[in-house]
Amino acid sequence: MQHGYWIRSKPIYHSLAWQYKAQAHVLLASGEGGRSVLRLYQQRLPDQPVTVLYLPAENEDYSAPLVTVVGTSLQVFPDARELWQRFDQVLQQSRMGTRLYAAGTESFLWQATTLAVKHGVLNADVMREQPASLARPVYCVHCKTTTHGVTTNIAVCAGCQRHLFVRDHFSRRLGAYMGLMIDAEDPGNVPDAEEVYP
């Protein structure tokens, strides 16, 4: 976090809410995002067809209640590759007026958005909810590797092992925050990392 000013590239997330003017609805969720889908189903259901694609995570598996609540509109996937493949097909067949919703980790939200953008969807057309962890995907500007699930303000890059300061500056195209070597000016002088994105 940086003090003094708010960085406007940082995305703001909302609780999912049905967009009732629509031709169809496609929901994409992973892990804790399953709870967001359950919460959405507490609201009045829309008249149009709904498709829910769900990827359970370790210790975060809402498949059972989702089967009960969502019924035949639900598809559960054993791994991410199959989920993205299916989502790609769904996008291919969808018409304008199909509302897109995503809930999950920040990495997941932007993987979903990036795939949709390949089909001509605009960033703003996707409604996103970040239900639980604030963990960040961090892009290392030095070696261009993205490290996922960063919960601290300073993190070790999975690619080049540099200590990166996690800036609030966010790229929607990369789906990640900027990471910049923290001890570049004074090598070896790395402050203690603090958990600020639990």
Q: Does 68 bind other proteins (CB under 8 A)?
A: no
Dihedral of CA atoms 156, 31, 90, 174 in degrees, nearest 10, equals -20
CB 32 within 8 A of CB 131: yes
Piece in contact with other proteins (CB under 8 A), picked from 2-10, 36-44, 55-63, 76-84? 2-10
Pick the piece of the chain touching other proteins (CB under 8 A) from 79-87, 103-111, 146-154, 165-173: 165-173
Determine, following the binding rule CB under 8 A, whether residue 45 of this chain makes contact with other proteins: no
Q: Which is nearer to other proteins, 131 or 175 (CB)?
A: 175
Among 13, 19, 156, 193, binds other proteins (CB under 8 A): 19
User: Rounded CA gap, 136 and 166, in Å?
Assistant: 9
- Of the listed pieces 15-23, 30-38, 61-69, 71-79, which binds other proteins according to CB under 8 A? 15-23
User: What is residue 152's DSSP assignment?
Assistant: B
Task: Match 């790609």 to its residue by tokens.
Answer: 88
DSSP-based three-state secondary structure for 50: strand
Contacting residue, 63, 64, 119, 191, with other proteins by CB under 8 A: 119
Compute φ and ψ for 75, nearest 5 degrees.
-130, 125
Distances (CA, A) of 22 to 91, 149, 154: 15, 34, 43
185 binds other proteins (CB under 8 A): yes
Closest distance of CB 165 from other proteins, Å: 11
Sheet of 176-181, strand order: 146-150, 136-140, 176-181, 163-171, 154-156
Applying CB under 8 A, which residues contact other proteins? 4-10, 19, 21-23, 91, 94-99, 116, 119-122, 124-125, 139, 141-142, 144, 162, 167-174, 178, 180-181, 184-187
